[in-house]
Amino acid sequence: MVGQRKWNRRAAAAVFLLPAVLGLLAFQLVPMISSVVISFTDWDLLSSWTKLHFIGWDNYVNVFKDEKSYTSIRNVFVFLIGYMPLVAILGTLLAVLLNRNMRGVKAYRAAVFVPVITSWVAVSIVWRWILNGQSGLVNYLLSLVGIQGPVWLQDPTWAMVSVIAVTIWKDIGFVSIILLAGLQDISEDYYEAASLDGASAWRRLWNITIPLLSPSLFFVVTISLINSFQLFDQVLIMTNGGPAGATSTVVEQVYKNAFQYNKMGFAAAQSWVLFVIILAVTTVLQRLQRRWVVYER
């Protein structure tokens, strides 16, 4: 009887897990394995699977030889350098402001989160109009104070700056809400003890708030880092990778190579190179967290 009940429980568990397992196999594991196989071929997306022509490591070698591919990788790191510090610092400052007791604070918290839940398509279209070099709102406001604004999205110098600014505007709400939750989890006892010891506001921020907020900061940095490497939607709609490849990214190149140029094998190789880069960077970040992340005990 006991053995039969145990078998029945396992059978019931298997029945309930089967849909999830089938979904995992069909939509994640099988496509991942297929992309690995495709990355070693010159498949053009139109030919039959039976006509796959294996070309070894050629696609992976060409990822670093192809000028557009190399430029896209470089642009992602340029984006990271401009995006990561600003979104972390501004998100922290905004979280500190939203943590204060003031009238209407709940409405402010909801307002800063609205861009996060807004579609990137809608956001990109609106900002493409705002940053329009001829009739955009930004250049109109600049003209009121006698400044002639650049052609933001068509200027190789300002295009990536524009993409970074728009991405920060959209993501800062997510960062600030996560950090706000971390701030509210810090016990007031620490601040009361520090005040009794005569610690200044700066000392309390540097020695209490930032160390105890570091787990939340680490989470935000990791998520933002992974999302940055997969930069795609705003680039495709706002600049389409231009001008002259100034905002081209790896995912944008994967999309174009796969579905516009029919170079599916090369696109698959690009995607796996991106995976390795993300894995390497996040592994380094995970190891470095031991030096600066403080977990309260």
Handedness of CA 157, 159, 160, 165 (dihedral sign): positive
pLDDT of residue 289: 83
Continuous segment of H or E residues that includes residue 100: none
Rg of the chain, C-alpha, whole Å? 24
Asked if 182 and 98 count as a contact pair (C-beta separation under 8 A), the reply is no
pLDDT-based confidence at residue 48 (cuts at 50, 70, 90): confident
Continuous segment of H or E residues that includes residue 147: none
Please state the φ and ψ torsions of residue 54, each to the nearest 5 degrees: -80, 135
Where does residue 245 fall: left (phi above 0), alpha (psi -120 to 50 degrees), or beta otherwise? left
Using a 10 angstrom Cβ sphere, with 0-12 exposed, 13-18 middle and 19 or more buried, the burial of residue 269 is buried
Residues 6+ apart with CB under 8 A from 236: 252, 255
Please count the other Cβ atoms lying within 10 Å of the Cβ belonging to residue 58: 16
Mean pLDDT within 172-188: 89
Mean pLDDT within 145-149: 89
- Second-level CATH architecture of 60-292: Orthogonal Bundle (1.10)
pLDDT of residue 3: 54
Packed helices 105-117 and 67-98: angle between N→C axes, nearest 10 degrees: 170
Mean pLDDT within 179-195: 85
Q: Is the pLDDT of residue 61 over 60?
A: yes
Asked if 41 and 53 count as a contact pair (C-beta separation under 8 A), the reply is yes
Summarised one tens digit per residue, pLDDT across range 10-37 is 888 888 888 888 888 888 888 899 899 9
Tell me the whole-structure pTM to 2 decimals. Answer: 0.87
Summarised one tens digit per residue, pLDDT across range 86-119 is 999 999 999 988 888 888 888 988 899 999 999 9
Cα end-to-end span (Å), the chain: 46
Q: Which residue has the higher pLDDT, 292 or 5?
A: 292
Among 42-46, 118-122, 194-198, 205-209, the range with the most confident prediction by mean pLDDT is 118-122
Summarised one tens digit per residue, pLDDT across range 231-290 is 999 999 999 998 989 999 999 999 999 989 889 999 999 999 999 999 999 999 888 888
pLDDT-based confidence at residue 6 (cuts at 50, 70, 90): low
* Average pLDDT across the chain, whole number: 88
Handedness of CA 58, 64, 70, 72 (dihedral sign): positive
pLDDT of residue 249: 93
Enter the tokens of residue 51: 């006509």
Please count the other Cβ atoms lying within 10 Å of the Cβ belonging to residue 66: 16
- Percent of the chain predicted with pLDDT > 70: 97
Mean pLDDT within 68-96: 91
pLDDT of residue 296: 65
pLDDT of residue 90: 93
pLDDT of residue 4: 59
Map tokens 């307002």 to a residue: 111
pLDDT-based confidence at residue 126 (cuts at 50, 70, 90): very high
pLDDT-based confidence at residue 297 (cuts at 50, 70, 90): low
Length of the chain: 297
Helix/strand/coil (H, E, C) string of 183-199? HHCCCHHHHHHHHHCCC
